[in-house]
Amino acid sequence: MKVLMVSQFCTHPHDEGNRQRIYRECCQMMDAGWQIDFLYFGSRINVDIEEMKRFFGKEHFFCVHIGSIDPRYQLKAMIRQKCERNRFTRYLPIFYNKDEWYYREVEERIQTVLHRQKYDVIWLQYLNQSKVLENIGTDVFKVIDTHDVFAHRNLMFLKQRKVSPGFYITRNGEREALARADLVIAIQNQEEEYFNKLMKNQKTECITIGDMVEFHGSKEGNEKRFGFVGTENPPNVFAVKWLVEKVLPLVREMEPEYECIIAGRICGGIPDNPYYSKMGKLERLQQYYDRISFAINPIQNGTGLNIKGIEALSYGKPLLSTTVGARGLEEAEIAGAMIVCGDERFFAEQIVYLMRNRQKRIAMRKETEKFIYEYNKKNKKALIDIENRVFERIKK
C-alpha cells in the first residue's frame, strides 16, 4: 500500500511528543509493508532533513518551502496577536479559520507528486491543511490524523487565566475541515467518541490509533529518585511550576532526601530551583529512565494523549499522573501500571509511598510491559483496519 504522508512536523529528531508519534507511526506502517512517501513543509529549526532523507529514502522524501498565508489571515493574525498581548482574547476569542494555516505551495506540490505517482492513501498530520483534500479524486483514500481536539481549545487555558498559545477553532470549523477526509484518526478513545458525535451526519468515519511505542524497559534506578521529562512548551512549564508550588514542599516534609529530576528541553524554560535538579537536553532517553525509579506527570492542561505518559510506561516505569495527564491511558490505571492523583496532597503522598515501597514499584513495572503489549496490539489492529478499508475501496 502506497501512502503519501503530509506533515508540518518532522520525524527527526523525534524529541517532541508529536514528532515521536509521527515517527513511530511511520515505523509501524513500514513494518506492515507500506511504502511511505513523506512530504515535509515545516520549520528548519532543530530539524534534521538529511536524517529524514536517509530514513525514508531520498526518492521518498519531499521538502516544500512555503510562502506566506492569505493576506486576509495575515491581517487577522496581527489583530489577534495584539489582542492577545492585551489579554482581550480572554473575553473575546478570535477563532482561527479552518484554512488559516493553509499553504498553496503544499497543495501544488501534492498535485505534482500525485501526477507522477499513484497513491492509495494521502495521510495528513493535523487538520490545518485539509483544504488540499478538496481537489483529490475519490480513487485516493483520504486520512486526517488529528493528534488533538482543536475546537474551543482556548477554553482550557482561559480556566487558568492564560492566553491560548496556539490554534483553536469553532466546532463547525473542525467539522468542516474533518469532513474533507474519508477517515479521521483520534489519538485516544474519548476523542474518538467526540469526533464521532461531531461527524454524526457526515460520511467521514473515525477510529483510534494511540501512540505506537515499543517496550524498552530500563534499570530500577535510585529508589528516592523520580522525574519528569518534556519539551519547553507552556503546559509543561506550568506543570513544573505547579509541582514546585503545590507538591514538592509536601514531599520534602515527609521525605527530605528525595530527588526530583527534570529532563529535556524544558530545562531551558524553567529556573534553577532547590526542589529539583535539571538533567537538560537528552541524547538518549534510556540514560534518563535508567536513573529514576518511577516517573511523574504533573501536567495541568491539555487534550489529546500525553505522549510522555505512554513513553514512561514503555520504559517500564511506574507512573504517577494528574487526571489530565492520564487522558487516553485509563487502561494503564486499570492494569495497575499507573496511579492517577486527583489533587496535590494525594500526588505528594503517592510519591512518598512509591519511594518507600519497592514491592509496589516491582509490581507496577511488571504491569507496564503487559499494558504496552495490549496497547500496541490494538494499534496494529487499527492499521490493518485501515488497510482493509483501502482495499475495499480499490475493489469497488
Query: Who has greater pLDDT, 298 or 221?
Result: 298
Average pLDDT over residues 26-52: 94
Q: 58-87 pLDDT, tens per residue?
A: 999 999 999 888 888 999 989 988 888 887
Q: pLDDT tens for residues 211-235?
A: 888 888 888 888 999 999 988 888 8
Q: What is the pLDDT of residue 308?
A: 85
Q: So what's the pLDDT on residue 349?
A: 97
Q: What is the reported pTM?
A: 0.88
Distance CA(152)–CA(142), nearest Å, equals 25
Higher pLDDT, 37 or 44: 37
227, β-bridge pairs: 261, 295
Q: What is the pLDDT of residues 380-390, one digit of tens each?
A: 999 999 999 88
- Provide the 10 A C-beta neighbour count for residue 58: 10
Please check whether residue 1 is in contact with residue 390, taking contact to mean a CB–CB distance below 8 angstroms.
yes
- Give the number of other CB atoms < 10 A from CB of residue 57: 12
Distance CA 44, CA 65 (A): 10
What's the average model confidence in pLDDT over 351-367?
Answer: 96
Domains and CATH numbers, the chain: 2-213+376-395 (3.40.50.2000), 222-375 (3.40.50.2000)
Residue 394 clears pLDDT 80, i.e. is over it: no
Does residue 130 contact residue 116 with C-beta atoms inside 8 Å? no
159: pLDDT strictly greater than 70: no
Which of 361, 259, 279 is closest to 318 using CA atoms? 361
With a cut of 70, say whether residue 161 has pLDDT above it. no
Distance CA 86, CA 74 (A): 19
